[in-house]
Structure 1
Amino acid sequence: MSTRTLIRGGLVVTAAEEVHADVLIEDGRIAALAGHTTATARSWTADRVIDATRKYVIPGGVDAHTHMELPFGGTAASDTFETGTRAAAWGGTTTIVDFAVQSRGEALRAGLDAWHAKADGNCAVDYAFHLIMSDVNAATLREMPRLIELGVTSFKLFMAYPGVFYSDDGQILRAMQRAGETGGLIMVHAENGVAIDVLVAQALARGETAPRHHGEVRRALLEAEATHRAIRLAQVAGAPLYVVHVSAAEALAELTAARDQGLPVFGETCPQYLFLSTDDLAAPGFEGAKYVCSTPLRPKEHQAALWRGLRTDDLQVVSTDHCPFCFAGQKELGRGDFSKIPNGLPGVENRMDLLHQAVVDGHLSRRRWIEIACAAPARMFGLYPQKGTIAPGADADLVVYDPHAVHTLSVTTHHMNVDYSAYEGRTVTGRVETVLSRGTVVVDRGTYTGRAGHGTFVPRTTCQYLD
Structure 2
Amino acid sequence: MPDILIKNGLLVTAEDSFEGDLLIADGVIARLGEAITRPGAHVIDAGGMIVMPGGVDAHTHLNLTVGKNKVCDGFYEGSAAAAFGGTTCVVEHPAFGPDGCGLLHQVRAYQKEAAGACVVDFGIHGVFQHVSEQILDDIETLMAHGVSSAKIYLTYAGRLTDEQILSVLARAKTAGVLAAFHAENHAIIDFLCRRFIAEGKHSPKYHALSRPPYCEAEAVYRIIALAEAVGDVPVYIVHLSTQAGLEIIESARDRGLPVVAEVCPQHLLLEDACYVTPDHKGLQYIMAPPARKAADRAALWQGLSRGSIDVVATDHCSFSFADKLAQGKDDFSRCPGGVPGVETRLALLFSEGVLPGRISLNRFVDVVSTAPARLMGLFPQKGNLAPGADADVVILDPNLEKTITPDILRQNADYSPFEGRRVRGWPVVTIVRGRVVVQQEALLVEKGWGQYIRRKRAVLHRPNQGGTHAK
| TM-score using structure 2 length | 0.95
Question: 1:113 maps to which residue?
Answer: 108
Residue equivalent to 1:229: 222
Shift of 1:165: 2.0
> Mind listing any 5+ residue stretches in structure 2 that lack a counterpart?
463-471
Q: In the alignment, what sits opposite 1:123? A: 118
Show the counterpart of 1:274.
268
What residue is the counterpart of 1:306 in the other structure? 300
Q: Which residue of 2 aligns with 1:411?
A: 406
- Residue type matched to 1:465 in 2? L
Larger mean CA deviation between 290-299 and 65-74 belongs to 65-74
Alpha-carbon separation, structure 2, partners of 1:188 and 1:142: 20
Aligned partner letter, 1:364: I
Q: Does 1:96 align with 2:87?
A: no
Q: Residues of 2 paired with 1:92 and 1:451: CA distance?
A: 17
**Is the Cα contact below 8 Å between 2:183 and 2:237 reproduced in 1?**
yes
SS in structure 1 at match of 2:319: coil
1 CA distance for matches of 2:118 and 2:212?
37
Moved over 3 A (4+): none
Match status 1:399 vs 2:418 = no
Per-residue CA deviation, residues 152-177 of structure 1 (Å, 9 max, x unaligned), is 1111000011xx22111111111111
Write out per-residue CA displacement over residues 61-116 of structure 1, whole angstroms, 9 at most, x where no aligned residue: 00000001211253011110000000000000000000134523111122112112
> Are residue 442 (structure 1) and residue 442 (structure 2) matched?
no
Choose which of 191, 212, 220 in structure 2 pairs with 1:219. 212
Q: Show the counterpart of 1:243.
A: 237
Aligned counterpart, 2:155: 160
8 Å CA contact retained: 1:102, 1:112: no
Alignment match of 1:462 (pick from 442, 457, 465): 457
Given that 1:4 and 1:27 are in contact with CA atoms closer than 8 Å, whether structure 2 keeps it comes out as yes
Letter in structure 2 aligned against 1:407: K
Conserved? CA contact 1:403–1:429, under 8 Å: yes
The answer to whether the 8 A contact 1:6-1:45 is kept is no
From 118, 140, 154, the counterpart of 2:135:
140
Aligned partner of residue 251 in structure 1, secondary structure: helix
Larger CA deviation: 454-463 vs 67-76 = 67-76
Question: Offset at 1:3?
Answer: 3.0
Q: Is the 8 A contact 1:102 1:131 kept in 2?
A: no
2:198 aligned partner, one-letter code: A
Task: Name the % identity.
Answer: 40
Q: Separation in 1 of the partners of 2:3 and 2:264? A: 36
Matched, 1:373 2:363: no
CA displacement at 1:413 relative to structure 2: 1.1
Tell me the equivalent position of 1:181.
174
Give the distance between the partners of 2:137 and 2:368, measured in 1 at CA: 33
Deviation at 1:118, TM superposition (A): 1.9
Code of the residue aligned with 2:442 in structure 1: it is T
CA distances 1:131-185 after superposition (whole Å, capped 9, x unpaired): 1111122111100111111111111000011xx2211111111111111111111
Partner of 1:151: 146
Instruction: Quote the Cα distance in structure 2 between the aligned partners of 1:46 and 1:295.
Output: 51
- 1:211–1:289: 8 Å Cα contact kept in structure 2? yes
Whether the 8 Å CA contact 2:185–2:219 is kept in 1: the answer is yes
Cα offset for 1:329?
2.7
Measure, in 1, the Cα distance between the counterparts of 2:68 and 2:204. Answer: 18
Partner of 2:337: 343
Paired residues, number: 459
Instruction: Choose which of 439, 442, 446 in structure 2 pairs with 1:451.
Output: 446
Give the Å deviation of 1:34.
0.9
Inter-partner Cα distance in structure 2 for 1:46 and 1:141: 54
State the alpha-carbon separation in 2 of the partners of residues 428 and 316 from structure 1. Answer: 23
- Distance in 2, Cα, partners of 1:422 & 1:195: 26
> What secondary structure does 1:32 align onto?
strand
Give distance in 1, aligned partners of 2:39 and 2:401.
33
TM-score when normalising by structure 1? 0.96
Q: Secondary structure at the match of 2:180?
A: strand
What is the CA distance between 1:190 and its match in structure 2?
A: 0.5
* Residue 197 (structure 2) aligns with: 204
Structure 1 counterpart of 2:32? 33
Distance 1:9 1:466, change over 3 A: closer
Structure 1 distance, partners of 2:350, 2:461, is: 29
User: Partner residue of 1:23?
Assistant: 22
The alpha-carbon deviation at position 15 of structure 1 amounts to 0.3
Instruction: Verify the 8 A CA contact 1:397 1:439 in the aligned structure 2.
Output: yes
Report if aligned partners of 2:220, 2:237 keep a CA contact under 8 Å in 1: yes
